[in-house]
């Protein structure tokens, strides 16, 4: 009895209830695990005689077993192996569906905690704007303090989610973190040093989200004159 199946077992098209078209592709690791499980069943079916001393998998006759009993026993063994294969395939199909669903939810709702933290920042900004409108624009100092408070709260939310500001001012120019917008002569800063930050950069953990746009110092050009004597 051969336990081999047609090639591609376990890699059939996804069930109709799974999304198609632009959905996230099936994880190759899951497919590999499914194929490995199928191969394990094949190995059990095709076990060598020395691995099956009782002859249960290869249909070796038992002592005093008549042909009719042997056929019945082989059919039962075949049915059991088929049931095991179907259950195994169903388990992996369910696992694949769950993994796909979790991945889709992570893509769709993975930023939920970030936006939840930002809601308080929006609330405080609304309060600052409402206060400025209520005062007729006369209480500018309080409005500025409110805006500064909102900014500090926003930076705190960034840091909570591992978004950090790149410290560029006064540091050597780093093309992996900075984007040079201009160069200016400087007698106080060493050439290649960031002397001004036009737009702050940010990193998410160790990944660059936006480079700092900076102005970089260059050596001051010295006026000509070869040291000759001035004319009389």
Task: Read off the pLDDT of residues 58-98 as tens digits, 9 standing for 90 and up.
Answer: 555 556 667 888 888 888 999 999 999 999 999 999 999 99
Q: How is 60-94 classified by DSSP, letter by letter?
A: PPPTT--HHHHHHHHHHHHHHHHHHHHHHHHHHHH
Fold of 164-221: Nucleotide Exchange Factor Grpe; Chain A, domain 2 (2.30.22)
Work out the average pLDDT over 129-139: 75
Query: For position 26, what pLDDT does the model report?
Result: 54
Binned at pLDDT 50, 70 and 90, residue 127 comes out as confident
Mean pLDDT on 128-150: 80
Question: What pLDDT does residue 33 have?
Answer: 66
What pLDDT score does 109 carry? 87
194: buried, middle or exposed (CB in 10 Å: 19+, 13-18, 0-12)?
Answer: buried
Residue predicted with more confidence, 35 or 63: 35
* Closest residue by Cα to residue 147 from 132, 128, 134, 130: 128
pLDDT of residue 10: 41
Mean pLDDT of 11-23: 44
How large a percentage of the chain has pLDDT more than 90? Answer: 39
Q: What is the pLDDT of residues 179-199, one digit of tens each?
A: 999 999 988 899 999 999 999
pLDDT, greater one: 135 or 21: 135
């Amino acid at each position: 009895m051969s336990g081999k199946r047609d090639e591609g077992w376990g890699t059939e098209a996804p069930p109709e209830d799974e999304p198609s078209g632009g959905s996230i592709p099936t994880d190759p690791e899951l497919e590999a695990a499914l194929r490995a499980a199928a191969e394990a069943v094949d190995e059990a079916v095709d076990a060598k005689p020395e691995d099956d001393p009782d002859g249960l998998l290869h249909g070796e006759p038992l002592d005093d077993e008549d042909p009719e009993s042997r056929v019945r026993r082989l059919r039962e063994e075949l049915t059991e192996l088929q049931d095991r294969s179907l259950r195994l395939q169903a388990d992996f199909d369910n696992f694949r569906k769950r993994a796909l669903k979790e991945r889709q939810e992570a893509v769709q709702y993975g930023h939920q905690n970030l936006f939840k933290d930002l809601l308080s920042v929006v609330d405080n900004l609304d309060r600052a704007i409402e206060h400025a409108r209520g005062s007729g624009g006369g209480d500018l100092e309080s409005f500025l303090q409110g805006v500064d408070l909102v900014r500090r709260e926003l930076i705190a939310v960034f840091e909570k989610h591992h978004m950090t500001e790149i410290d560029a001012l006064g540091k050597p120019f780093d093309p992996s973190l900075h984007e040079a917008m201009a160069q200016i002569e400087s007698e106080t800063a060493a050439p290649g040093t960031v002397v001004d930050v036009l737009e702050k950069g940010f990193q998410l953990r160790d990944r660059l989200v936006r480079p700092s746009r900076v102005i970089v110092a260059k050596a001051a050009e010295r006026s000509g004159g070869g040291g000759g004597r001035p004319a009389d």
